Amino acid sequence: DGGITQSPKYLFRKEGQNVTLSCEQNLNHDAMYWYRQDPGQGLRLIYYSQIVNDFQKGDIAEGYSVSREKKESFPLTVTSAQKNPTAFYLCASSGGFEETQYFGPGTRLLVL
Amino acid sequence: QKEVEQNSGPLSVPEGAIASLNCTYSDRGSQSFFWYRQYSGKSPELIMFIYSNGDKEDGRFTAQLNKASQYVSLLIRDSQPSDSATYLCAVKGGTSYGKLTFGQGTILTVHP
């Protein structure tokens, strides 16, 4: 069963805490992405990676960090420097002729 | 000027009617265009993509692209209440390279 998985579905962060969101794909896609979505808003790109051990900042990278040690995995850490982390976080991967992006189910991050 | 613009709606159509969703983009070098559907609380799912001027049909959905006018649209024929969702337009290519730039989405409501 191919696809993209994200965990957890809901995540609660305390003040000053770093939290890590998991994203795994078994589609054999080279590129992976992290987006943030706020209520009533479109998707904003946080980080993306086109190949293992390489990643680039997106439009809103401040307060976030990523790693890409395996092709299948692209975890996102929301650091304490991100002062407004409450949002819906979406992971995507892309492949194929048009590099079409497919999304995981998302993680909703809430601040306690 | 936003890079990708959509009317946020809500757009309300009766069941069985044609729903027309519009999107304009600012990067004239954009190459590929995607429509995603997002149900409330869920992640976006791909409906279709288009990269050549003209129409592309897939079932009840038709994407229309006019690169000269920098305009892409999605028509939904025989609209059903299950089509009620937010529709996201995404654009790739030109100065954004392989990344997608999303519009803020149009909320569609199909009423019985």
Which ranges of chain B have pLDDT less than 50? none
Mean of all residue pLDDT scores within chain A: 93
B57: Cβ–Cβ under 8 A, 6 or more apart, which residues? none
Q: Does B87 touch chain A (CB under 8 A)?
A: no
| pLDDT number for residue B99 | 83
Closest by Cα among A32, A85, A94 to A58: A32
| pLDDT number for residue A96 | 73
What average pLDDT score do residues A54-60 get?
94
Looking at beta carbons, which residues of chain B come within 8 Å of A42?
Answer: 4, 88, 102-105
pLDDT classification of A42: cutoffs 50, 70, 90: confident
Which residue in the set B8, B100, B103 is minimally distant from A101, CB to CB?
A: B100
What average pLDDT score do residues A27-53 get?
93
- The interface residues of chain B toward chain A in range 64-83, judged by CB-CB distance below 8 A, are none
The structure tokens listed for B14 are 């009766």
CB A64 within 8 A of CB A91: no
What average pLDDT score do residues A29-52 get?
92
Mean of all residue pLDDT scores within chain B: 92
pLDDT classification of A1: cutoffs 50, 70, 90: low
Q: Does B2 touch chain A (CB under 8 A)?
A: no
| pLDDT number for residue B12 | 97
Which residue in the set A40, A43, A105 is minimally distant from B102, CB to CB?
A: A43
| pLDDT number for residue B29 | 87
| pLDDT number for residue B9 | 84
Instruction: Please identify which residue in the block is written with the tokens 């992290």.
Output: A34
Which residue in the set A42, A103, A104 is minimally distant from B103, CB to CB?
A: A42
